[in-house]
Chains A and B, each alone.
Chain A
Amino acid sequence: MISQIFTVIHPQGFHARPSKSFAEKAHSFPCQVTLYKGDKQANGKSPLGLLTLGISAGDEIRLEVDGEQEGQAFQELGRMLTQIYEE
Chain B
Amino acid sequence: MSHLLTGVPASPGIAIAKAYRLDMDESIPPRKEIEDRAAEIQRLKEAVESAKADIDRIRIQTLERLGSQKAEIFEAHLFLLDDPELTDAALARIESEGVCAEFALYEVAAAIMDALRSMDNEMLRERAADVEDITRRVISKLEGREHHALSELSNEAILFAKDLTPSDTAQLNMDYVRGFVTEIGSHTSHSAIMARSLELAAVVGAGTDASHIRTGDTVILDATSGKIIVNPSPNQMEDYSERKRKYEEDVSRMKSYIDRPSLTADGVQVELAGNIGGIDDLEKVLANGADGIGLFRTEFLYMGRSTFPSEEEQYSVYKHVLEKMNGKRVVIRTLDIGGDKELSYMQLPQEMNPFLGLRAIRLCLDREELFRTQLRALLRASAHGKLGIMFPMISILSELREAKRILDEERVRLVQQGVVVSSEFEIGIMIETPAAALAADLLAQEVDFFSIGTNDLIQYTMAADRMNESVSYLYQPHHPVILRIIQLVIQAADRHGKWVGMCGEMAGDASAIPLLLGFGLHEFSMSASSVLPARELLSRLSRQEWSRLAVQTLNMSSQSEVLDFVNDQLRSEAKL
Decide: A15 and B127 in contact? CB cutoff 8 A. Answer: yes
Q: Chain A residues near B130: list those with CB within 8 A.
A: 16
Contact of A51 among B84, B116, B188, B280 (CB under 8 A): B116
Decide: A20 and B112 in contact? CB cutoff 8 A. Answer: no
Decide: B123 and A47 in contact? CB cutoff 8 A. Answer: no
Decide: B116 and A52 in contact? CB cutoff 8 A. Answer: yes
Decide: A56 and B279 in contact? CB cutoff 8 A. Answer: no
**Is A3 part of the contact surface with B, judged by Cβ < 8 Å?**
no
Contact of A48 among B80, B126, B305 (CB under 8 A): B80
Contact of B84 among A16, A17, A46, A82 (CB under 8 A): A46
Decide: B283 and A52 in contact? CB cutoff 8 A. Answer: no
Considering the complex, give the chain A residue whose CB is closest to the CB of B312. Answer: A82
Contact of A52 among B73, B115, B310, B312 (CB under 8 A): B115
Decide: A84 and B317 in contact? CB cutoff 8 A. Answer: yes
Decide: A47 and B316 in contact? CB cutoff 8 A. Answer: no
Q: Whole-angstrom distance between the alpha carbons of A45 and B115 in the complex?
A: 18
Q: Whole-angstrom distance between the alpha carbons of A35 and B124 in the complex?
A: 17
Q: In chain B between 64 and 90, which residues have their CB closer than 8 angstroms to a CB of chain A?
A: 69, 72-73, 75-77, 79-80, 83-86
Decide: B84 and A45 in contact? CB cutoff 8 A. Answer: yes
**Is A41 part of the contact surface with B, judged by Cβ < 8 Å?**
no
Decide: A13 and B123 in contact? CB cutoff 8 A. Answer: yes
Decide: A15 and B124 in contact? CB cutoff 8 A. Answer: yes
Interface string of B295-336 (1 = CB under 8 A from A): 000000100111101101100110010000000000000000
Q: Chain B residues near A58: list those with CB within 8 A.
A: 304-305
Task: Specify which of A15, A19, A82, A87 lies most central, judged by the most chain B CB atoms within 10 Å of its CB.
Answer: A15
Q: Whole-angstrom distance between the alpha carbons of A84 and B120 in the complex?
A: 20
Please judge, given known A-B contacts A48-B131, A58-B304, A82-B313, whether A11 and B278 are in contact too, CB under 8 Å.
yes
**Is A31 part of the contact surface with B, judged by Cβ < 8 Å?**
no
Tally of A interface residues using CB under 8 Å:
32
Q: Chain A residues near B79: list those with CB within 8 A.
A: 20, 23-24, 47
Contact of A15 among B84, B126, B310, B313 (CB under 8 A): B126
Q: Chain B residues near A56: list those with CB within 8 A.
A: 120-121, 124
Shortest CB–CB separation between residue B273 and chain A, in angstroms? 21
Q: Chain A residues near B112: list those with CB within 8 A.
A: 48, 51-52
Please judge, given known A-B contacts A9-B316, A17-B73, whether A48 and B120 are in contact too, CB under 8 Å.
no
Decide: A84 and B320 in contact? CB cutoff 8 A. Answer: yes
Chain A contact residues: helix, strand, loop or mixed = loop
Q: Chain B residues near A86: list those with CB within 8 A.
A: 69
Contact of A84 among B72, B80, B316 (CB under 8 A): B316
Q: In chain B between 446 and 478, which residues have their CB closer than 8 angstroms to a CB of chain A?
A: none
Q: Chain B residues near A16: list those with CB within 8 A.
A: 73, 76-77, 80, 127, 130
Considering the complex, give the chain B residue whose CB is closest to the CB of A58. Answer: B305
Q: In chain A between 1 and 46, which residues have their CB closer than 8 angstroms to a CB of chain B?
A: 7, 9, 11-17, 19-20, 23-24, 43, 45-46
Q: Chain A residues near B115: list those with CB within 8 A.
A: 52
**Is B119 part of the contact surface with A, judged by Cβ < 8 Å?**
yes
Decide: A60 and B85 in contact? CB cutoff 8 A. Answer: no
Q: Chain A residues near B116: list those with CB within 8 A.
A: 51-52, 54
Decide: B307 and A7 in contact? CB cutoff 8 A. Answer: yes
Q: Chain A residues near B124: list those with CB within 8 A.
A: 13-15, 51, 54-56
Decide: A13 and B85 in contact? CB cutoff 8 A. Answer: no
Q: Whole-angstrom distance between the alpha carbons of A55 and B330 in the complex?
A: 29
Considering the complex, give the chain A residue whose CB is closest to the CB of B126. Answer: A15
Q: Chain B residues near A51: list those with CB within 8 A.
A: 112, 116, 124, 127
Q: Whole-angstrom distance between the alpha carbons of A20 and B127 in the complex?
A: 12
Q: Whole-angstrom distance between the alpha carbons of A83 and B315 in the complex?
A: 11
Contact of B85 among A7, A17, A46, A82 (CB under 8 A): A46
Q: Chain A residues near B76: list those with CB within 8 A.
A: 16-17, 19-20, 47
Q: Whole-angstrom distance between the alpha carbons of A72 and B186 in the complex?
A: 39
Q: Whole-angstrom distance between the alpha carbons of A19 and B75 in the complex?
A: 12
Considering the complex, give the chain A residue whose CB is closest to the CB of B68. Answer: A86
Decide: A7 and B309 in contact? CB cutoff 8 A. Answer: yes
Q: Whole-angstrom distance between the alpha carbons of A57 and B283 in the complex?
A: 18
Q: Chain B residues near A57: list those with CB within 8 A.
A: 304
Q: Chain B residues near A13: list those with CB within 8 A.
A: 121, 123-124
Shortest CB–CB separation between residue B59 and chain A, in angstroms? 13
Q: Chain A residues near B309: list those with CB within 8 A.
A: 7, 9
Q: Whole-angstrom distance between the alpha carbons of A46 and B81 in the complex?
A: 11
Considering the complex, give the chain A residue whose CB is closest to the CB of B283. Answer: A87
Q: Whole-angstrom distance between the alpha carbons of A60 and B283 in the complex?
A: 26
Decide: A20 and B75 in contact? CB cutoff 8 A. Answer: yes
Considering the complex, give the chain B residue whose CB is closest to the CB of A13. Answer: B121
Decide: B83 and A47 in contact? CB cutoff 8 A. Answer: yes
Decide: A11 and B279 in contact? CB cutoff 8 A. Answer: yes
Q: Chain A residues near B85: list those with CB within 8 A.
A: 43, 46, 48-49, 52
The 5 closest A-B pairs by CB, nearest first: A58-B305, A16-B76, A54-B119, A48-B85, A56-B121
- 8 other contacts beyond A15-B123, A20-B76, A49-B85, with CB at 8 A cut-off? A16-B127, A19-B76, A23-B79, A43-B84, A51-B116, A54-B121, A55-B124, A56-B121
A-B contacts, 15 of them at CB < 8 A, read A7-B310, A9-B301, A11-B280, A12-B188, A15-B124, A15-B126, A16-B76, A16-B77, A46-B84, A54-B124, A56-B121, A60-B306, A82-B313, A82-B316, A84-B279
* B interface residues, Cβ below 8 angstroms from A: 69, 72-73, 75-77, 79-80, 83-86, 112, 115-116, 119-121, 123-124, 126-127, 130-131, 188, 278-280, 283, 301, 304-307, 309-310, 312-313, 316-317, 320
